[in-house]
């Protein structure tokens, strides 16, 4: 639960919650999964009208926050996505939109940005080497200068919603250093392989680039100057992911608590056994701590503070681990029902597990913290 | 000595936080010593040492703060405080980091006893004792636990019998930190043995050193001897010492426990001095120093452990902020202080474990010419104190599940039973 939302943020929160409940209840998510689909384009477009895609993009470039604090606003949406394990490319579209809007010479990509904002197109951030986690140096493919443009060769793996993307923001090394390019899905030499995902509807893909020719205007920002933007995009992706974890955990604890009141054993509710009460107390503490650290990270990213990178990693290292700890113990409290396909808890466990693994595992974030502390 | 920077007030007459901060920034270096400059024998042990001189030093420092206009920041003006907000206190805490402060007066004097007197005491109690504490003239202490009742605090069997204008106390209290150096104590005693246990209690604000009070120090595992046990033998306490109502002692104790949870968890607005939680604290620096001395700074596992310990400290600060906001906006009940209390116990335990792992065999012994890692081993031995002091973590879990999550109360065999019919162990 958020304590200090503005009236506009509350409106955004309620509108998103209501719309997700109507358009994408768990039954719809199961149906999408059965059909091998990730999300519904019309639903996404209407979500964009509610503000899902535009909060972290400045007004001058077509976006707009509701509170003046777009990153915080976006975490309000992400939390609701977590509560419903909602379908849709929320994190990646926001990350790519922010990247396009913030880069020097942003008007080069105004067309794509506009279509991301209105929900008619989807873009994904391709930045991880196959089999590797978050490591931008290793994840950057090769971009060789060729005439007026560049030729891209290499492979990206674990591209979130890569199978749905109309365009990619591609991390690459040019001779000048770390750079980012916009590459169309249907450019010659691009092939996309959707991968089977642990999540019901959040897809991942492998993207291969075989001699993909792009003009210099495909660069986002200056050649070789992407390192700071990449770190910023990573922070945004992680903080949205953490907000989603907060929502997932909050919802699971709500229905598990209710189950403990309703389920009787030996003539008394589960909620009357001290051993179980104490486990719920621990889980409540972890959930509250997770909300606290996510909110602090969101504020730091919002304000572009120097410690934002550290706080984001603190939040992810904690929430990534605790979220799955909590949900697994809630599975235990549900008994045999908890490990059935029919019970909904696995849908939440799937989302939490995927979030734990992507954008840096808790362990990887701890190593990042140690680096930032100059141990 | 007062600061030369002028105070800037807002429309309500209250000085702005920024103005207060600037005055503190000017005053502190001119009046308080830097911790780094303290003589070695006053240095590392200054906050844990249990000799009388350390308490005298704390009183002197408190007087310095009082004379400089930086004491009792959140206490009302009419009782000797400054009547400012927790934001002012936070600003002062940030500015005073790295300087000598009377840290031992925070718990329980300013964060537990003071606020309880403020909530429940008589006008006379407040005028006399709060002002004296803020001036550095009085140290307060809690006489709550007894040898026979720890978590079951309301099961107190210290007896207070009315005799005209006075009460006569007999019994024993325990775990009262620093009682030997204190002036007044909040003492919970039983005045009615026919009433059920919570309804027969009365709280007294009693003089510590007086005829019939015998104090013994208790030596702890870590070598400290701050804990005391008191024995009362026909101790005479005036009726004016009653805090709240006769028979209403549990209501006072409940406020005390509320303030204690906040104090132990790190959420009290009356805490004055730099806190470790919420930023890169001395704990993290100590761990980094430790792995450098033991040659493990490049070991990926050691690095992850340091990051984990550091993250817990940072998140503790975030949780304090969240729970404080939750209680202020009434979206969380006042019992939510149990969350920070539990986090503190759990994280301190994990941090002690991590320090032990990082020190390795060096924590088991110390050589005169080797890295000084003895403290790590001793802290580990004393680890459970963070899960016991200030209310056990089991009680915190009861409170969270019952008061916050609304789950069934634990069965109590003594509920609504006249206390003189309740069974006791030996």
Contact yes or no for B396 and A281 at CB 8 A: yes
Nearest residue of chain B to residue A274 (CA atoms)? B410
* DSSP single-letter state for residue B9: B
Backbone angles phi, psi at A169, to 5 degrees: -95, 115
At A66, is the secondary structure helix, strand, or coil?
coil
pLDDT computed for residue A133 by the predictor: 87
Domains and CATH numbers, chain A: 7-117 (1.10.540.10), 123-218 (2.40.110.10), 227-372 (1.20.140.10)
Nearest chain A Cα distance for residue B133, angstroms: 34
Record the tokens describing residue B168, joined without a space. Answer: 């006569």
Choose the closest CB to B314 out of A281, A284, A314.
A314
Choose the closest CB to B318 out of A3, A293, A367.
A293
pLDDT computed for residue B2 by the predictor: 46
Say which residues have a Cβ less than 8 Å from residue A244's Cβ, sequence separation at least 6.
Answer: A78, A79, A81, A82, A90, A91, A351, A355
pLDDT computed for residue B45 by the predictor: 46
pLDDT computed for residue B280 by the predictor: 46
Residues of B in contact with A1 (CB under 8 A): 331
Please name which of B191, B214, B206, B193 lies closest in space to residue B236, comparing C-alpha atoms.
B206
Choose the closest CB to A292 out of B297, B321, B400.
B321
Q: List, in sequence order, every beta strand (DSSP E) within A185-267.
A: 190-195, 204-215, 264-265
Nearest chain A Cα distance for residue B80, angstroms: 33
pLDDT computed for residue B10 by the predictor: 66
Listed by number, the residues of chain B in 261-300 with a beta carbon closer than 8 Å to a beta carbon of chain A are: 280, 284, 288, 291, 297, 300
Helix H or strand E segment including A323: helix A308-333
Nearest residue of chain A to residue B305 (CA atoms)? A366
State the best of B285, B304, B312, B350 to mutate against chain A, taking most chain A CBs within 10 Å.
Answer: B304
At B190, is the secondary structure helix, strand, or coil?
strand
pLDDT computed for residue B224 by the predictor: 87
Residues of B in contact with A296 (CB under 8 A): 318, 321
State the best of A288, A295, A315, A318 to mutate against chain B, taking most chain B CBs within 10 Å.
Answer: A288
Is residue A260 within 8 angstroms of chain B, CB to CB?
A: yes
At A149, is the secondary structure helix, strand, or coil?
strand
Is residue A289 within 8 angstroms of chain B, CB to CB?
A: yes
Please name which of B396, B401, B131 lies closest in space to residue B260, comparing C-alpha atoms.
B396
pLDDT computed for residue B279 by the predictor: 45
At B202, is the secondary structure helix, strand, or coil?
strand
Nearest chain B Cα distance for residue A180, angstroms: 31
Is residue A271 within 8 angstroms of chain B, CB to CB?
A: yes
Nearest residue of chain B to residue A276 (CA atoms)? B401
pLDDT computed for residue A247 by the predictor: 98
Contact yes or no for B311 and A369 at CB 8 A: yes
Residue in the structure block whose two tokens are 């909050």: A250
Nearest chain B Cα distance for residue A328, angstroms: 19
Is residue A352 within 8 angstroms of chain B, CB to CB?
A: no
Residue in the structure block whose two tokens are 């792009």: A214
Nearest chain B Cα distance for residue A262, angstroms: 12
pLDDT computed for residue B81 by the predictor: 97
Choose the closest CB to B407 out of A3, A272, A288.
A272
Nearest residue of chain B to residue A280 (CA atoms)? B401
> For all residues of chain B together, what is the average pLDDT?
91
Say which residues have a Cβ less than 8 Å from residue A101's Cβ, sequence separation at least 6.
Answer: A57, A58, A61, A62, A63, A113
- The low-confidence residues of chain A, meaning pLDDT below 70, are none
* DSSP single-letter state for residue B404: I
Is residue B410 within 8 angstroms of chain A, CB to CB?
A: yes
Contact yes or no for A295 and B291 at CB 8 A: no
Handedness of CA A281, A284, A286, A288 (dihedral sign): negative
Contact yes or no for A272 and B306 at CB 8 A: no
Please name which of A151, A149, A147, A130 lies closest in space to residue A139, comparing C-alpha atoms.
A130
Contact yes or no for A285 and B325 at CB 8 A: no
pLDDT computed for residue B362 by the predictor: 86
Is residue B346 within 8 angstroms of chain A, CB to CB?
A: yes
Residues of B in contact with A280 (CB under 8 A): 400-401, 405, 407
Domains and CATH numbers, chain B: 17-106+116-137 (1.10.540.10), 142-250 (2.40.110.10), 276-404 (1.20.140.10)
Contact yes or no for A277 and B315 at CB 8 A: no
- The low-confidence residues of chain B, meaning pLDDT below 70, are 1-7, 10-11, 40-50, 276-282, 370-372, 426
Residues of A in contact with B321 (CB under 8 A): 292, 296
Nearest chain A Cα distance for residue B326, angstroms: 6
Is residue B349 within 8 angstroms of chain A, CB to CB?
A: no
Assembly ipTM:
0.95
Choose the closest CB to B401 out of A278, A318, A365.
A278
Residues of A in contact with B307 (CB under 8 A): 313, 317, 365-370, 373, 375
Residues of B in contact with A305 (CB under 8 A): none
Is residue B307 within 8 angstroms of chain A, CB to CB?
A: yes
Peptide bond between residue B108 and the one before it cis (omega within 30 degrees of 0): yes
Between the alpha carbon of residue A311 and those of residues A296, A297, A315, B285, the distances in Å are: 7, 5, 6, 17
């Amino acid at each position: 639960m958020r304590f200090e939302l503005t009236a506009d943020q509350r409106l955004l929160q309620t509108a998103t919650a209501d719309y997700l409940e109507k358009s994408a209840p768990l039954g719809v998510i199961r149906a999408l999964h059965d059909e091998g689909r990730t999300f519904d384009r019309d639903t996404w477009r209407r979500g964009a009208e509610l503000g899902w895609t535009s909060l972290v993009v400045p007004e001058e470039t077509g976006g707009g926050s509701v509170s003046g604090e777009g990153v915080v606003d976006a975490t309000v949406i992400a939390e609701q996505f977590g509560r419903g394990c909602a379908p849709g490319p929320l994190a990646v579209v926001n990350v790519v939109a922010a990247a396009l809007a913030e880069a020097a010479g942003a008007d080069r990509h105004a067309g794509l940005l506009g279509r991301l904002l209105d929900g008619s197109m989807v873009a994904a951030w391709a930045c991880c080497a196959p089999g590797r986690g978050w490591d931008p140096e290793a994840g950057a493919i090769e971009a060789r200068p060729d005439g007026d443009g560049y030729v891209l060769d290499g492979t990206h793996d674990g591209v979130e919603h890569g199978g749905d993307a109309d365009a990619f923001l591609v991390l690459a090394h040019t001779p000048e250093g770390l750079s980012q390019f916009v590459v169309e899905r249907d450019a010659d030499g691009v092939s996309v392989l959707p991968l089977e995902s642990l999540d019901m509807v959040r897809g991942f893909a492998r993207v291969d680039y075989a001699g993909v020719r792009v003009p210099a205007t495909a660069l986002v920002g200056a050649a070789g100057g992407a390192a700071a933007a990449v770190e910023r995009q990573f922070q945004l992706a992680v903080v949205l992911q953490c907000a989603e974890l907060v929502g997932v955990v909050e919802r699971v604890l709500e229905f598990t608590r209710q189950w403990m009141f309703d389920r009787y054993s030996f003539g008394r509710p589960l909620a009357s056994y001290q051993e179980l009460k104490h486990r719920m107390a621990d889980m409540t503490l972890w959930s509250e701590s997770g909300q606290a650290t996510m909110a602090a990270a969101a504020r730091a990213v919002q304000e572009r503070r120097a410690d934002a990178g550290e706080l984001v990693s603190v939040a992810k290292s904690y929430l990534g681990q605790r979220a799955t700890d909590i949900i697994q113990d809630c599975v235990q409290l549900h008994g045999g029902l908890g490990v059935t396909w029919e019970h909904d808890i696995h849908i939440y466990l799937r989302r939490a597990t995927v979030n734990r693994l992507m954008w840096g595992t808790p362990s990887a974030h701890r190593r990042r913290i140690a680096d930032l502390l100059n141990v | 000595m007062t600061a030369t920077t002028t105070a800037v007030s807002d429309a309500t007459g209250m000085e702005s936080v920024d103005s207060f901060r600037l005055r503190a920034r000017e005053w502190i270096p001119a009046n308080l010593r830097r911790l780094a400059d303290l003589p070695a024998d006053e240095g590392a042990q200054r906050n844990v040492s249990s000799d009388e001189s350390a308490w005298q030093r704390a009183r002197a420092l408190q007087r310095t703060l009082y004379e400089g206009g930086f004491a009792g920041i959140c206490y009302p003006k009419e009782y000797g405080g400054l009547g400012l907000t927790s934001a002012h206190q936070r600003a002062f805490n940030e500015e005073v980091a790295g300087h000598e402060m009377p840290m031992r007066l925070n718990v329980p004097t300013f964060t537990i006893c003071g606020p309880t007197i403020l909530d429940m005491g008589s006008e006379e109690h407040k005028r006399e004792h709060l002002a004296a504490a803020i001036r550095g003239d009085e140290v307060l202490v809690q006489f709550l636990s007894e040898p026979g009742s720890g978590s079951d605090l309301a099961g107190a069997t210290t007896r207070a019998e009315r005799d005209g204008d006075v009460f006569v106390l007999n019994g024993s209290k325990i775990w009262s930190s620093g009682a030997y150096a204190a002036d007044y104590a909040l003492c919970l005693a039983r005045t009615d043995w026919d009433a059920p246990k919570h309804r027969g209690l009365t709280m007294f604000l009693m003089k510590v050193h007086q005829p019939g009070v015998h104090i013994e120090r208790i030596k702890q595992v870590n070598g400290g001897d701050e804990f005391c046990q008191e024995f009362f033998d026909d101790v005479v306490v005036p009726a004016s010492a009653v805090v709240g109502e006769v028979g209403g002692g549990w209501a006072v104790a409940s406020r005390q426990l509320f303030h204690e949870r906040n104090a132990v968890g790190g959420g009290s607005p009356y805490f004055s001095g730099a806190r470790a939680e919420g930023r890169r604290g001395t704990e993290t620096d100590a761990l980094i120093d430790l792995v450098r001395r033991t040659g493990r700074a490049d070991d990926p596992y050691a690095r992850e452990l340091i990051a984990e310990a550091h993250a817990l400290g940072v998140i503790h600060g975030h949780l304090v902020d969240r729970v404080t906001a939750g209680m202020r906006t009434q979206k969380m009940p006042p019992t939510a202080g149990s969350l920070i209390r539990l986090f503190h116990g759990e994280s301190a335990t994990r941090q002690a474990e991590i320090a032990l792992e990082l020190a390795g065999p060096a924590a088991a012994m110390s050589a005169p010419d080797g890295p000084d890692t003895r403290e790590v081993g001793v802290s580990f031995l004393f680890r459970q104190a963070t899960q016991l002091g200030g209310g056990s973590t089991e009680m915190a879990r009861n409170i969270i599940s019952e008061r916050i999550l609304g789950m069934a109360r634990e069965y109590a065999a003594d509920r609504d039973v006249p206390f003189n019919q309740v069974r006791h162990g030996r």
